Structures are given as structure tokens and as C-alpha cells.
């Protein structure tokens, strides 16, 4: 009888674990993050808190941090550096999936707005991901800047809408009038996709890193 009771208890315990796991899968997701300063240097040792839960993570040597089994829906992140500087970000955590987020410092006078769109491409033996970035001058004066970064980067269009015949190479200067934009394409092969990548924008003697995430599933 004792053996039967022990067996029954083990079976119930196993079912309880399986039940919790299935429930977690249906109601939670995960957060994978990257934290850096304006220049792209990882904010190693900084603390990221998942507000309202008491849960914290420490930014590792590669600038990454992770939260698993996060309730799906709106989550609030707060990064605190050694000097007390804080970065806040709200993210939507998907059910049974991973939300990626970059917590980064920005120059207060950064004059541009960025919009992103990604597109998986396959040409011959080359398969990869194209990330289109629309870089718009949000200030009220012309801005001269240059753009360069990781992966293959090209500038194919500058407004007023016209295509640049031979493109603009990484690092070339271009001037955008107020409200005008440049279309930047960052191309990477599947083999070179590493998760978080960086693009740099230089203007007025300053440099701002822009961290973005590339995946293909």
C-alpha cells in the first residue's frame, strides 16, 4: 500500500509540473535585451528591473540581459547604471515568444527620427535579412550626417523622393532638409545574423549608435 501511495504521489506531482509548464507556455513570454551607451559601449554591470515584479537582471559582459516566464502583455523595464542614470522602456511581451529590446542612451539633441521595416530576401544562393531604416530630419534646420554600421549598409533614396543612381556609400556625408528623409538598407546573410546589431549616425561632431535586432524564423 505504501508503495502504491508513493507511486500515486509521484504521478500527481509530475502532472502538476506538466500542468504548470503548459500554463506558463500559454500565458507568458520572454524578454531578451541589450543595453549600451550613446557610443555603443555595453553598460556592463548595470541593473535592469522588471517593474512591479521585484525581478532584476544584470547586464553581462556582452551587454545582454534576459527575463524568462514574463506575463504576456505590457511590461515596464528600468535600467539603472552605477552613477544612478536610468533608462526606461515599455514593451509588449508576446505569449510563448520572445520580445527583444534595446535599452540605449540617446543624445538629447539627436535631430532624427527612425522608422524600421525588415524583409527576408533570397537571391540565388544568398539568403538574408534586409532592414530598411527611414531616417528623417525632425529638426527645423538642415542636418548633414553620415551613416555606417555592421553588415552591408547602403543608402538608396533621399527625399524629395528620388533614387541615388549608384547609392551613397557608408560614411559619405549627405544633407537632409527639415522633414526630409533618407532610406537606409542594412543587409545581412543568415550566417551573419547575430541578434543585436549596430548602426552609427554621425552629425555635428557627434556620434549616435542605433541598436536594432535582426532575426529570421
Please indicate whether residue 130 or residue 76 has the higher confidence score (pLDDT): 76
Q: What is the pLDDT of residue 172?
A: 86
* Rounded percentage of the chain residues whose pLDDT exceeds 90: 51
Q: What is the dihedral of CA 68, 192, 61, 212, to 10 degrees?
A: -70
What is the spatial distance between Cα 43 and Cα 28, in angstroms, rounded to a whole number? 27
142 or 155: whose pLDDT is higher? Answer: 142
Dist CA 216 CA 187 (whole Å): 13
* Confidence bin at 41 (pLDDT 50/70/90): very high
Q: What is the DSSP letter of 139?
A: S
Question: Is residue 3's pLDDT more than 50?
Answer: no
Q: Can you tell me the mean pLDDT for 161-173?
A: 72
pLDDT given at position 143: 95
Gap between the Cα atoms of 139 and 112, Å rounded? 7
Evaluate if residue 13 carries a pLDDT over 90: no
Q: pLDDT per residue over 45-55, tens digit each? A: 999 999 999 99
Determine the longest span between alpha carbons in the chain, in angstroms: 85
Q: Is pLDDT at 14 greater than 60 in this prediction?
A: no
Give the residue among 178, 183, 100, 189 at the shortest CA–CA distance from 139.
178
Domains in the chain (CATH in brackets) are: 28-104 (2.60.40.4130), 112-214 (2.60.40.10)
Structure confidence at residue 157 as a pLDDT band (50, 70, 90): confident
Q: Which position has the higher pLDDT, 168 or 102?
A: 102
Distances (CA, A) of 120 to 11, 33, 192: 46, 22, 14
Q: How far apart are CA 59 and CA 77, in angstroms?
A: 13
Q: Look at 41 and 4; give whichever has higher pLDDT.
A: 41
Q: Where are the alpha helices (DSSP H) in the chain?
A: 2-27
Least confident of 7-21, 34-48, 121-135, 164-178: 7-21
Note the pTM of the prediction, 2 decimals. 0.76
* The predicted structure's pLDDT at residue 9: 39
Whole-number pLDDT of residue 196: 82
Mean residue pLDDT across the chain: 80
Q: From the centroid of its chain, how far is CA 47?
A: 18
- Is the pLDDT confidence value at 43 over 70? yes
DSSP 38: T
**Can you give the pLDDT at residue 127?**
62
Q: Which is nearest to 51 in space by CA: 104, 98, 89?
A: 89
**Between 179 and 156, residue with greater pLDDT:** 179
Question: Can you tell me the distance from the alpha carbon of 108 to that of 129, in angstroms, rounded to the nearest whole number?
Answer: 31
Amino acid at each position: 500500500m505504501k508503495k502504491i501511495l508513493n507511486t500515486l504521489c509521484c504521478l500527481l506531482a509530475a502532472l502538476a509540473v506538466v500542468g504548470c509548464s503548459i500554463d506558463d507556455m500559454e500565458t507568458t513570454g520572454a524578454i531578451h535585451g541589450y543595453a549600451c551607451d550613446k557610443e555603443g559601449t555595453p553598460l556592463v554591470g548595470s541593473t535592469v528591473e522588471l517593474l512591479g515584479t521585484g525581478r532584476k537582471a544584470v547586464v553581462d559582459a556582452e551587454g545582454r540581459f534576459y527575463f524568462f516566464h514574463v506575463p504576456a502583455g505590457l511590461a515596464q523595464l528600468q535600467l539603472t547604471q552605477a552613477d544612478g542614470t536610468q533608462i526606461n522602456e515599455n514593451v509588449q511581451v508576446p505569449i510563448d515568444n520572445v520580445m527583444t529590446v534595446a535599452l540605449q542612451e540617446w543624445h538629447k539633441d539627436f535631430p532624427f527620427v527612425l522608422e524600421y521595416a525588415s524583409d527576408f530576401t533570397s537571391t540565388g544562393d544568398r539568403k538574408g535579412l534586409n532592414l530598411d531604416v527611414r531616417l528623417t530630419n525632425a529638426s527645423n534646420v538642415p542636418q548633414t550626417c553620415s551613416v555606417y554600421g555592421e553588415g552591408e549598409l547602403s543608402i538608396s533614396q533621399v527625399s524629395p523622393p528620388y533614387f541615388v543612381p549608384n547609392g551613397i556609400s557608408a560614411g559619405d556625408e549627405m544633407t537632409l532638409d527639415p522633414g526630409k528623409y533618407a532610406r537606409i538598407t542594412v543587409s545581412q546573410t543568415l550566417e551573419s545574423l547575430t541578434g543585436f546589431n549596430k548602426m552609427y549616425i554621425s552629425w555635428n561632431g557627434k556620434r549616435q549608435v542605433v541598436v536594432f535586432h535582426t532575426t529570421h524564423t
